[in-house]
Amino acid sequence: MEMLGLSLALFGAALAAALAGIGSAIGIGVAGGAAAGVMTEDPNKFGSCLILQALPGTQGIYGLLIAFFVLNKLGLLGGAGAVALTWNQGLQIFASCLPIAVVGWYSAIWQGKTSAASIQMISKKPEAMGKAIILPAMVETYAVLALLTSILMLMGVQVG
Partner 1 sequence: MGVAKLKKAELYYHKSVHEQIAAAIQETGACQIISTVEENQPRPSEVEALISCIEEKLADVRYLNRTLTPHYVDPIPALDRMLGERPEVTMTELEELANKTDLKKICDDTRAVERETADVRLKLSEAKLNYSILSSLEFFDYPLSIFNEGTRTLTALAGTIKPENLPGLKAALGDFSKFAQDTELIIAPYNEKEKPTEVCAVLFYSRSVEAEVRELCSKNGLSLIEIPASFSGTPAEEKEKLTAAITELEATEKLLAVKMADLANDNMLTVQKLSDYYNSLAGRYNGTAKSDETESTMLTKFWLPADRAEEIKSKIEAISPEIDLTLADPEPDEEPPSLLSNGSLVRPFNILTELYSSPRYRGIDPTPLLAPFFWIFFGMCLGDAGYALVVFGLILYVFKKYKKISVGVKEFIRLFLFCSVSTFIYGVISGSFFGNFIDSFVPILVPLKNSLMLVDPMTNPMQVLGISLLLGVIHLMFGLLVAAYEKIRNKEFIDAIGSNISWFLFIVGLCLFGVGLGGMLPPHFTQIGQFMAIIGAVIIFFYAGREKKGIINKIISGFLALYGSTSYLGDILSYSRLLALGFGSAVIGMVINLLGGLAANIPYIGWLIAIVVIIGGHLFSIAINILGSFVHPLRLQYVEFFGKFYSGGGEPFTPMTLSQEFVNVKA
Shortest Cβ 10–partner 1 spacing (Å): 17
Shortest Cβ 103–partner 1 spacing (Å): 12
Applying CB under 8 A, does 102 fall inside the site for partner 1?
no
Among 27, 57, 90, 112, binds partner 1 (CB under 8 A): 57
Q: Where are the beta strands (DSSP E) in 16-57?
A: none
Applying CB under 8 A, does 134 fall inside the site for partner 1?
yes
Name the residue nearer to partner 1 (CB basis): 30 or 140: 140
Residue 2: exposure state from Cβ atoms within 10 A (0-12, 13-18, ≥19): exposed
Question: Is there a contact between 160 and 86 (Cβ–Cβ < 8 Å)?
Answer: no
- State the amino acid at position 95 in one-letter form: A
Name the residue nearer to partner 1 (CB basis): 11 or 68: 68
Shortest Cβ 1–partner 1 spacing (Å): 30
Quote the CA–CA distance of 86 and 6 in Å, as a whole number.
Answer: 8
